[in-house]
Structures are given as C-alpha cells and as structure tokens.
Amino acid sequence: MDPVVALYTVLLATVLGLSGFARSDTRRRGRGLLLASVLAGFIVVAAVSALVTATTIPGMIVTALAVLFSAQAATTAFALLWREIRTETRPHGAASKADTEDAP
Amino acid sequence: MNFGLQIDLIGWFALVTILVSLHGLSRGSSYRLIGPRRAVVLLAITLVAMLAAVLWAAGDNNTLLAAIMILLGVAAAPFSARRPRTLPQRAEQDSILNGLSLITIGSGLAVTLLGLTGWFETNYRMDNWDLRLIAVVSVFIGVWTFASGLMLWLRLNAYLPESAPTQMQQRVGFAVLAIALGLGLLAVLFPSHARLLMIAMVLLALELGALSAFGIVITRATRVLGRHLGLLGAAIAMLGYVQESLFLLAIGSLIMAGAIQYLYLRRTIKTRASDAPRDQS
C-alpha cells in the first residue's frame, strides 16, 4: 500500500472520529470506552484474513489462535455494551414507574 | 499478504453502517438516527457480514478452521462477560471493568500472534523495513497490552495486593519503555540478530505491562484500559497497512480517536472539577 494513501486515510479517519466523539453525550464517558472496545473487536476480521491466507502449518496454528482470542474479545465487547445499554434504560423505566406510583 | 480486497469487498458499506451505529450510540436521545439497541444489532450484523465476506472470498482455504475458531471464541465469551449475581451499582461497574480487562488480554494476545505471523510469513531479511517495523511494534503493543490487562484483572479480582504508585515506579517504567523501544528499533535495523533482541523486548514489555498496571491506584484502571485500547487501534491500523485494507486503517484510526477523546475528556472534566471550588471561592 502507498504510505501516503495510508497516512491520509489515518488522518481523515482520526479527525472524523475526534469530531464525532467530541459531539457525543458527555455524561456517558464509560460508553466511549466500550465503543472503542467493540470497534477493536473488528480485529477478528484481520485475523481471519491472515488465517485464510496462511501458507505454512506454524502460520496456520498461530493465526488460528489469534482468531480464537479476537473472536472471544469481540463477543465479550458486544455483550458488555449490550448489558450497559440495558442497565442504562432499566433504571429510567423503574424510576418513571415509581414516579407514577408515588403520584397522587 | 495482499488480501485487502477480501476485507474491502464490503468494507465501505461496513464503514457507513459503523458510523451510523456510532452516531446512534454516542448521541443524546434527541439527535439519534437510530436507537442504541438497534445500533448494537447493526454493529453485530456488520461484523458478521465482514467475516462472511472474507470467508466467502477465501474459498476453501482454511475456511472450516476459521469458522471453528470463531465459534470457539464466541462460546468462550460468556465466561469473560458474566455478571455477578448479587450486585449493587458498584459491582456492576467492577464487572464491566473486569470484562474490559479480559478484552485487552484477548486482543493483546491476538495482536502479538498476528505480529509474529507478519514477521515470519513476510521475508523479514529482505529490504522491506516498513513491514519489519510494523511486526515489531505489533508484538510490543500486543505483549504490553496483554500484560497490563492481566495485571488489571488480577488486581480487580484481589489476587494481587493493593499498591500505591511511587515516583520511582514511574521512572523505572519510563526507563523500561525506552530500553524496549530501543531494542525493537535495533531488531528492525539488524534483522539477522532480531530473534534475541525481540525476546529481550518481549520480556521488557511484560515487565512494562506489570509496572503500568501495578503503579496506579485501581480507580485509574479505566485510564490504563483507554490507553491500551488506543494502542490496539494503532495496531489494527498497522495491520490494515500490511494487509492493504483501507477499512482496517479507518477502523484503527476511529479507535485511536475514541481513546484520545476518552482520555482528553477525562482530563477536562477533572480540570473543570478542580476549577469549580476555586471559582466559588
């Protein structure tokens, strides 16, 4: 790959990400970390690509292990983000229910 | 390892769906294009579609092995994402931190293994110094992230004693970082002696991970996790360069941006909090 094209892509995506995250809801800082971990789960795509193009037996073994660990990390990240969203929405519902019950 | 076309087959469509999902997940309720639950489902569908595209483009070459490994990884995930049964709010946060540290362990191992593959599968004695540099940096980032995640997980589960950070620990950490980077640079410049240099660098990266997770108070664990997620983003972007995939370059850069924003935002909020009493007085 042309290094200049790579550098331009990195620069543009970083600036896009910084401007996007800068406008995000500042009360949910922890979610930014979870989002980054979910995006890091896309490393499984790179690992699978490396596995299907591996030519030697040691290369196959090493990349297969990389696929295993990255798939585990990606699934964990999705599970944590899903749980965080559910716990975020649950107290609101409980609170509104309590409010309506307390109301005269 | 020229297989960027396999990844970028639907990479641009995947990038658009990822940006839409991020928009839905990070905005306040009044600005959302889609709701957060739908955004997570869209992200999961995007990941599955990317994997399916790569496996489809590969034909019969190790496809079955890749599918089995993905399924094994998915099956192992519930053990690392499990929720404590009896939980006040604090235990919930601890379990998320626990899961995040396990994510950094798994991702760190994956980056290390991919860096090693890049080192041995490309002919590292040839004049392709950029690929050698990326392989060495990937191994360093992977081992450092793995060790930091492991130490954080051990501390969060009280397998290690509490420790208070000292000035000396920080100095030793900087010294170890400088020596490890120097050894990595020598491995890139002199590939004929690289094996010994890389072993020494890996040992130092393990020590650095232990120091960086040990030399903090545990309430700053999220800061360590944010830093290592940013490093993982850099590693993914470098993998994108090696695999000639613009999608991986963009995703890695987005992760770096998220980590930078997280760390920067933490600092500004802390600054605002420390400024508030001064303003009142």
- pLDDT at A95 > cutoff 70: no
pLDDT of residue A102: 38
Window 209-238 of B: residues touching A by CB (8 A cutoff) are 222, 225-226, 229-230, 232-233, 235-237
Give the pLDDT confidence score for residue B1 in this predicted structure: 45
Q: Which residues of A are less than 8 Å from B3 in CB distance?
A: 49, 52-53
Say whether B253 and A46 touch across the interface (CB within 8 A). Answer: no
- Per residue of chain B (281 residues), give pLDDT as tens: 445 556 677 878 888 888 888 888 876 656 667 788 888 999 999 999 989 988 888 777 788 888 999 999 899 888 776 665 555 556 667 778 888 888 999 999 999 999 888 888 766 556 677 888 888 899 999 999 999 989 888 888 877 777 767 777 778 888 888 998 998 888 888 888 888 888 999 999 898 888 877 766 666 778 888 889 999 999 999 988 888 888 889 999 999 988 888 887 655 555 555 545 444 43
Residues of A in contact with B76 (CB under 8 A): 68, 72
Neighboring chain B residues of A53 at a CB cutoff of 8 Å: 1, 3, 58, 61
Q: What is the pLDDT of residue B191?
A: 81
Cβ-Cβ contacts under 8 Å between A and B: the total is 296
Residue A67: which of B19, B73, B247 has the nearest Cβ?
B73
Over 60: is that where the pLDDT of A80 sits? yes
pLDDT at residue B98, rounded to an integer = 83
Among the partner-chain residues B51, B100, B225, the one whose CB lies closest to the CB of A48 is B51
Looking at the predicted structure, is the pLDDT value of residue A104 above 90? no
Q: What is the 3-state secondary structure (H, E, C) of chain B?
A: CCCHHHHCCCHHHHHHHHHHHHHHHHCCCCCCCCCHHHHHHHHHHHHHHHHHHHHHHHCCCCHHHHHHHHHHHHHHHHHHCCCCCCCCHHHHHHHHHHHHHHHHHHHHHHHHHHHHHHHHHCCCCCCCHHHHHHHHHHHHHHHHHHHHHHHHHHHHCCCCCCCCCCHHHHHHHHHHHHHHHHHHHHHHHCHHHHHHHHHHHHHHHHHHHHHHHHCCCHHHHHHHHHHHHHHHHHHHHHHHHHCCCHHHHHHHHHHHHHHHHHHHHHHHHHHHHHHHHHHHC
Chain A nearest C-alpha distance from B190 (Å): 22
Q: Worst-scoring range by mean pLDDT, A4-13, A21-30, B115-124, B145-154? A: A21-30
Name the pLDDT band for A97 (thresholds 50, 70, 90). very low
